[in-house]
Structure 1
Amino acid sequence: MALSECIEWLKLLQFKKLENDEEGALLEPLKNFINQPEFLPHEARLESISSKGVRFVDGNGCEVPVENLSDGYRSILSMTFELIRQLAKTYGPQRLFAPNDPTKVIVPGVVLIDEIDAHLHPTWQRRVGLWFRDHFPNIQFIVTTHSPLICQAATIGSIFRLPKPGSEEQAGMVTGIARDRLLYGNVLDAYSTGAFGDVPTRSPESLEKLERLAILNQKELAEGLSDTERAEQQQLRAQLPTAASALPSADTEVSGQ
């Protein structure tokens, strides 16, 4: 559901609340859920809902138009509103939230989200899985992603590698060292597992610089460098801080077992 549709749904809830309709009782706990700390950017909160629209304000009390929210937060809001809307249709508005904790939706279910990382800043890619897992504790989330940062939320659960469309690759569960690298390593560790296919981690220009640095490093050991070459070497080392002293073989492949 697009955020614009979610906004219309919020307006409908406001009308139902004024009409004392049972569904309107969802509005206040929903606002409390959305306004919990560290969810919206810059301490923004959902302030009011009327026929004129939905009003957000930031931590300074300044109005934040919905259209000015970033694509990432609009995406998170859309997913959250739609998930709660569907759960309310299934279970009713009175049973969704924990009685003593408005930050938790306690009903069970299975939710599928395709490409959950779309439009999300890397910071939110790392947080989104953990956030949904913490605040919807009885929901099983099955998501697809192209981001290793999303996988870091799967400490409880499983990770599967899907084959490329049209290929003869086999799907399979990521286990062992490869799984540990996805969960606990950095982005380069994750890509080295092969779970995301053959992903170049350096640009062609970077590889040229890396090759030049390897040549200078080898020359330094063999015969020494001129002042100009040493200055070039130091510059390349600053640009390529993780570079090894020699290039790996062109057909070397690192994979997790």
Structure 2
Amino acid sequence: MPMAYPYRWPGGAEDCGPQAAAQAIDQITKQIGPGNVAAVVVEPIQGEGGFIVPAPGFLPAIAAFCRDNGILFVADEVQTGFARTGDLFACEHEGVVPDIVATAKGIAGGLPLAAVTGRAEIMDRVHPGGLGGTYGGNPLSCEAALAVLEEIEEGGLVDRARAIGDIMLPRLRALAGRYGAVGDVRGRGAMTAVELVRGGASGGAKEPDPELTAEIARRCHAAGVLVLTAGTYGNVLRFLPPLVIPEHLLREGLDVIEEAFAAALEG
């Protein structure tokens, strides 16, 4: 089902949350039927889709629909979990409590580990050994995960992620004020992105510019800063700095990004 995409929502960002939720619910109801749906899986912030933060109200409405119809609400927190967005899990931003949460990546500091966590009455329905995988219970990865959780708590990394966002978002918004090619700046905590378009952000066309996106990524890479591209149209630069990055390195990285924009757009 379509995600709530404030920047590209036809009715405008202000109405995106409730309208997108109503659209998704209507499609599920008419095309599938709530009684035929076992689960709805959603990224609370889209990752590869372009770091899209759904408009307020979207996630709670979908979760309420699931709850009212006996459908499991499954949150894919693989990219967004473990303090990345300024809360331990991104669903917490709108007070949504999933039935099941899928996690990986940040859980073990780079070692191969993933987890499925859910309400006891759901998880206990599976017979012993019925839920597993190749790396399930890997002792080294589990030890790393325990250390990661300890560092998140003792190192205050939830607050640190918010502080990173407080530094990055104003700098990225300043770029949007300087260059019309920056159509949107979005994100939460240490999970931020800019969407690049042709013809100026105020022109209304919002035509994706994947070529400019790739050029800026290349210039950043050449200057020693790795940035990734994402989005359906390949026109989003996404930023995922380590939660433990020193502030001077973060600001130095932002300087490189600004220089890459200037070189690409000003010659």
TM-score by length of structure 1 reads 0.25
Higher relative contact order (CA 8 A, sep 6+): 2
Give the TM-score of the pair, scaled to structure 2. Answer: 0.24
